[in-house]
Structure 1
Amino acid sequence: MEKLINLPTRAPEGLDKEHIKAQTKKLRQRMFDLQHKMYIQGKYSVLVILQGVDTSGKDGTIRNVFSGVNPMGCRVKSFKKPTELEEKHDFLWRVFPHFPEAGKIQLFNRSYYEDIIMPQLYWTHSQEVIDHRYTMINALEQHLVLNNTRVIKLLLHISSHEQWARIESRITEPHKRWKYHPDDKKAAERYGELLAQYDLIRERCSEPVPWEVIPADQKWYRNFLVAKRLVDELEALEFTLPESQFLDEE
């Protein structure tokens, strides 16, 4: 497995930005059509997990890529530091109410993987506990797949230089200042360590659902890759639209 530090964070040289943005627009429309069919059929569901270092663009991806989907069939859940109540339960307790029902798309902005990343980074839990969490997550994703939930795990990958640039923009640009938190800088200082944690997760949690690394320095390229990935997943499903039971009665 290639380590994240060696993987690209930008689009290939020479890629036409305007062409890619036009393709993304078409993908959004295709996504809307396919989501509508999935919603009507009510057989499959899709769980999209977005992970990445701070400022990698998780919020922006959700806002831009999924702006065209039907809100009736799509939900978003952000997972932050566990609350006092959540800390009193096992680490998956807060996640279960948010798995998608049949016909729906669920987006996780961060996820239960934070409950491995943070303990590994700060050594707040024993290795035995962390190993158990790896086992539980793999079993959980296997369970979801067997129950017609398509799981897509996307790691938004930005460079350290880009991360610092985005932090600086949160400080200097008035319309972005609301995003800034002093912890942003602390996290950026541990960029290499965080990438190493993600490498461990990619290695230990790749079955049955592999991680996909999305070069995310350039938002237009990131949006295209995420939209294409979801459309590809939806197109692989077989949709059979139901007939009305009332037509035969007339």
Structure 2
Amino acid sequence: MKDINSNQFKVKQPIQLQNIATTLDLEASKKKIENELEDVCEDLAKIQNAMYAHGKYAVLICIQGMDTAGKDSLIREVFKELNARGIVVHSFKVPTELELKHDYLWRHYIALPARGKFGVFNRTHYENVLVTRVHPEYILGENLPDVKDLSDVNDDFWNKRFQQINDFEKHIAENGTIIFKFFLHLSKEEQKHRLLRRLDKPEKNWKFSPGDLKERKRWDDYQFCYQDALNRTSKPHAPWYAIPADDKPTARYIVARILLDTLKTYKDIKEPELDDEIKANLESYRNQLKNE
């Protein structure tokens, strides 16, 4: 099976999405890729257990992508080996009335993982520079003091919002959160195939919405907004990874490998040492239990 390097997917300089592949041949069968993913996930679970005991880092995993990019199934398959007590998944939908009464980052901030835990954002704070940028009329619903009409949702507005997001991520990174941001890079043709599958398979019908076709017509607008977001906000402390997503098993394996390879570089993540007194009396405690 072809080896991969996390850096080959990292956005380290300005990119053009049209030049980034949506497929990658790992030179292995689907079964082989799935078996390799299982091994990586087991190793991830060991790190997560140590991190939970260590209690000094949190891990935030942000997953973005067009409709049908495979976000839900990726989360299910990559994190299924992790202890449920150590991972929390948040799926951010249209803001509620309460959420709209706060700044746009509030609902994301309160959902951040505690130290020792993994947090997964299925769609993220980047929706606020993606869907709202394609549909700037949504910004009016935030009732912002400096936005009177759509003319106020201009380049200065978006520049400020990107800076706020960068500041938010820098702040949490400096306070112990390890940040991963994955863009599932799907081709328009593959999205068409997956939407048709939702229509053709009765058990998949519930996933389809006519709104999916409406948003698909704005494909080029979304690609521009994603590209701009990746280029403006991929930082050493909060990097973006552009993941080829036309093949789901491949995308899942790449994401899992990036997580594992990166977390293994944190040599200080390990289970705490036992207190010397407890360690010296382990045999005594063992005999007490055996002799009950």
Query: What is the TM-score normalised by the length of structure 1?
Result: 0.94
Q: Does 1:189 align with 2:202?
A: no
Question: What is the CA distance between 1:15 and its match in structure 2?
Answer: 4.3
CA–CA separation in structure 2 for the residues paired with 1:15 and 1:8: 18
Partner of 1:209: 238
Q: Does 1:242 align with 2:255?
A: no
The residue type equivalent to 2:226 in the other structure is: Y
Q: Give SS of 1:69's match.
A: coil
Q: Deviations over 1:95-120 (max 9, x none)?
A: 11111111100000011100111221
Partner of 2:73: 60
Q: Give SS of 1:151's match.
A: strand
CA–CA separation in structure 1 for the residues paired with 2:74 and 2:178: 19
Contact (CA 8 Å) 2:52, 2:116: kept in 1 or not? yes
Question: What is the CA distance between 1:213 and its match in structure 2?
Answer: 0.4
Gaps (5+ residues) in structure 1? Answer: none
Partner of 2:150: none
The residue type equivalent to 2:117 in the other structure is: K
Contact (CA 8 Å) 2:74, 2:252: kept in 1 or not? yes
Q: Does 1:5 align with 2:18?
A: yes
Q: Give SS of 1:224's match.
A: helix
CA–CA separation in structure 2 for the residues paired with 1:248 and 1:236: 28
Contact (CA 8 Å) 1:119, 1:130: kept in 2 or not? no
- Moved beyond 6 Å, runs of 4+: none
CA–CA separation in structure 2 for the residues paired with 1:78 and 1:152: 16
Q: 2:261 aligns with which of 210, 229, 232?
A: 232
Q: 1:123 aligns with which of 129, 133, 136?
A: 136
Question: What is the CA distance between 1:8 and its match in structure 2?
Answer: 0.9
Residues 78 and 14 (structure 1 numbering): CA distance in 2 closer, same or farther, change over 3 Å? same
Q: Number of residue pairs matched?
A: 250
Partner of 2:205: 177
Contact (CA 8 Å) 2:77, 2:252: kept in 1 or not? yes
Question: What is the CA distance between 1:13 and its match in structure 2?
Answer: 7.1
Gaps (5+ residues) in structure 2? Answer: 1-13, 140-152, 282-292
CA–CA separation in structure 2 for the residues paired with 1:14 and 1:36: 32
Q: Deviations over 1:7-51 (max 9, x none)?
A: 111123744433322211110111111111111111111000000
Contact (CA 8 Å) 1:134, 1:205: kept in 2 or not? yes
Contact (CA 8 Å) 1:35, 1:234: kept in 2 or not? no
Q: Give SS of 1:95's match.
A: helix
Q: Give SS of 2:88's match.
A: strand
Residues 116 and 181 (structure 1 numbering): CA distance in 2 closer, same or farther, change over 3 Å? same
The residue type equivalent to 1:223 in the other structure is: R
Partner of 2:30: 17
Q: Give SS of 2:110's match.
A: helix
Q: Deviations over 1:60-100 (max 9, x none)?
A: 11011111111100000011111122112110111111111
Aligned 1:101-140 pairs, distance under 5 A? 101-124=114-137, 125=139, 126-127=153-154, 128-140=156-168
CA–CA separation in structure 2 for the residues paired with 1:118 and 1:22: 36
CA RMSD for the aligned pairs?
1.7
Give the structure with higher Rg (CA).
2
CA–CA separation in structure 2 for the residues paired with 1:122 and 1:190: 10
CA–CA separation in structure 2 for the residues paired with 1:230 and 1:172: 35
CA–CA separation in structure 2 for the residues paired with 1:97 and 1:26: 33
Query: What is the TM-score normalised by the length of structure 2?
Result: 0.81
Q: 1:156 aligns with which of 184, 200, 221?
A: 184
Contact (CA 8 Å) 2:26, 2:250: kept in 1 or not? no
CA–CA separation in structure 2 for the residues paired with 1:23 and 1:43: 29
Question: What is the CA distance between 1:150 and its match in structure 2?
Answer: 0.5
